[in-house]
Amino acid sequence: MTKKSVRSFSGARPTGRQHLGNYLGAIKNYVALQDEAECIYCVVDLHALTTMETTQNLRENTYDMALDWLAAGIRPEETIVYIQSHVPQVTELHMILSMVTPMGKLTDLPTFKEKVRNHPQNVNYGLLGYPVLMASDILLPKANFVPVGVDQAPHIEFAREIVRSFNYRYNTNVLVEPEIRITEVPKVLGIDGEQKMSKSLNNEIELAATPKETTERVMMMVTDPQRKRRSDPGDPDVCNVFTMHKIYSSPEEVEMVNTECRRAGIGCVECKRLFAKNLNENLIPFRARREELDKTPDTIWDILDAGAKKMRLIADQTMSEVRQAVGLP
């Protein structure tokens, strides 16, 4: 297959300024996939509403996330980047797909049960239909594959089941079963060294932080808990700073830390300074591009508008086929 003969779809909730966990877990892969497929990236603002208590920062968070994506290397000339609510066909398809989705399947999903546990005060209809809306996002552009971490695979399998139900019910092949592309998603721990990096846990390192702020966050990172004093030998295998060195430092530096930590030849302060320096160097091009883009915020909104326009054309085509298959008058 040629480079652009396959289409990939991914979506993410508008969470504002992105952090290292977002970058290493998703954005890096978003950028790389552009060399292989026609990519469509969606800011799923409607999904966000299902658990959101206030929409006060929705616009700002959408802008900041899109800005970070573009600064990191998403190329809008060849990749469609859009806001979910700007393509209303997604809600129409969601409604039609809901007719071939058994209620029991939705209430049985572990993700629904987890959300009910986490948001007992707001168990809304949208929360239940979340996987149907997600299927609609993917099926509207007839994506050939969806890159996901292994924990997200059941959602895509759910979308595949909906395709089979729909195509069987209406005796058609209009909808396309997306392949599940399992991507290696490294578990990026926060500066607490224990939990996954996340804004809500306040353990993140933001991509757009200044070099000084970044260094300060790195210096707060929890290291090998057994290493109490500088003279104690450490174990890099249990230290999150060492994990990050393996991503951002040269092989020689990784080797040096690996050896010297174990014989107390390097202290944690020095080790973190080295990582902070390498991380800041790595982020120079990202920060420069971000600063440039941020000078003209209209550019970001124009890119999102142009993406929605392209996506609406694709959606119109799919929806006319869907309506015909269903037999809507």
Report the interface residues with ligand SF4, using CB under 6 A: 223-224, 227, 234, 236, 239, 241-242, 257, 261, 266, 268, 271-272
User: What six digits make up the tokens of 159?
Assistant: 């979308």
- Closer residue to ligand SF4, CB minimum distance, 271 or 315: 271
- Closer residue to ligand SF4, CB minimum distance, 96 or 276: 276
CB of 241 to ligand SF4, least distance (A): 4
Q: Any idea what DSSP says for residue 191? A: T
What CA–CA distance (Å, rounded) separates 214 from 276?
7
Distance set, CA 140 to CA 41, 117, 193, 246, 251 (Å): 13, 31, 40, 39, 44
CB of 73 to ligand SF4, least distance (A): 29
Strands 38-43 and 80-83: parallel
CB of 154 to ligand SF4, least distance (A): 35
CB of 239 to ligand SF4, least distance (A): 3
How many other CB atoms are there within 10 angstroms of residue 103's CB atom?
9
Measured in degrees and rounded to the nearest 5, phi and psi for residue 39 equal: -105, 140
- The helix (run of H) or strand (run of E) holding residue 139 is helix 130-139
- Closer residue to ligand SF4, CB minimum distance, 277 or 287: 277
User: What six digits make up the tokens of 186?
Assistant: 């490294």
CB of 240 to ligand SF4, least distance (A): 8
What CA–CA distance (Å, rounded) separates 290 from 207?
10
Distance set, CA 48 to CA 11, 163, 225, 266 (Å): 11, 24, 37, 45
CB of 281 to ligand SF4, least distance (A): 18
- The helix (run of H) or strand (run of E) holding residue 81 is strand 80-83
- Closer residue to ligand SF4, CB minimum distance, 134 or 257: 257
Task: Assess contact for 97 and 162: CB atoms under 8 A.
Answer: yes
Task: Assess contact for 236 and 257: CB atoms under 8 A.
Answer: yes
CB of 279 to ligand SF4, least distance (A): 14
- Closer residue to ligand SF4, CB minimum distance, 235 or 294: 235
- Closer residue to ligand SF4, CB minimum distance, 133 or 276: 276
- Closer residue to ligand SF4, CB minimum distance, 37 or 239: 239
